[in-house]
Amino acid sequence: MSSIENNVQELIARRAASELKGPSVVNLGIGIPTLVAKYVEDELIHFHTENGLLGVTDVEEEDPNLVNAGKLPVGERVGASFFSSAESFGMIRGGHVDVAILGALQVDETGRIANWAIPGKNIIGVGGAMDLLVGAKKVIVTTSHLTRDGKSKLMKICTFPLTSTRSVDMIITELAVFSVVNEQLILTELMPGATLEQVRESTEANFLEGGFE
């Protein structure tokens, strides 16, 4: 990964972290969402990982049997608990997780996302994405604004299969922050260095321009 891509991911992760307010239980997806944790200092934010841990923290001593959903080594904080996958997804579907931060391959203009399959590609996995989308009280998507070949990921209609019919609540890219209200994207913030023109040019989806500075 280039250092520019790296910086973009860190920028997005830091912005997402600022959305989190304790007390809160937060599930982080794979990719940019995983980076969010290092920007969170609030002790009242507890990270949940669907493979069976509430209380994820930085890795102290690497243990191959203590991992997050991306199979990366993690640590367990004071007050952590372990549970089975069935109980973990009961927490998710049952509405006990306050915020899920997820990656996306595409977002449509009603705020629905596609993040589990690419037609014609050998990606045969869905993991917990569909469960998190129906169960988390708030869903924040963190993604680069454009694909590697420069196409907008914020599209009128997703061409990849949808992960859920539920619209997410917020989309954070390196260019902008959008809220989703009544299945309508609303531009609420420009990211540092980004211009409105740039956001308009880089966004295929229709969006309202909210009252931002």
Partner 1 sequence: MAIVYEKVENALSEIKSGMTIMVGGFGLVGAPLTLIEGLSGKDVDGLTIISNNLGEAGEGLGVLLRQRKIRKAIGSYFTSNREVGEAFQRGEIDLQLLPQGTLAEAMRAGGAGIGGFYTKTGVGTELAQGKGIREINGEPYVFEQALKADVAIIRAHKADTLGNLIYYKTARNFNPVMATAADLVIAEVDEIVAAGELSAEEVVTPHLFVDRLIVAKKILTKEGVIHRKQCTRADCEACCQ
| DSSP-derived 3-state class of residue 85 | helix
Residues 70-99 that bind partner 1 (CB under 8 A): 71, 76, 82-86, 88-90, 92-93
Nearer to partner 1 among residue 23 and residue 94 (C-beta): 94
Q: Residues touching partner 1: how many (CB under 8 A)? A: 41
Given 19, 50, 109, 174, the catalytic residue: 50
Nearer to partner 1 among residue 3 and residue 165 (C-beta): 165
Q: Does 52 bind partner 1 (CB under 8 A)?
A: yes
d(CA 186, CA 61): 43
Q: Is the dihedral of CA 161, 167, 170, 175 positive or negative?
A: positive
Contacts of 197 (CB under 8 A, 6+ apart): none
d(CA 27, CA 48): 5
d(CA 75, CA 59): 4
Among 33, 55, 103, 128, binds partner 1 (CB under 8 A): 128
Contacts with partner 1 by CB under 8 A lie at 49-53, 62-67, 71, 76, 82-86, 88-90, 92-93, 117, 122-131, 134-135, 161-165
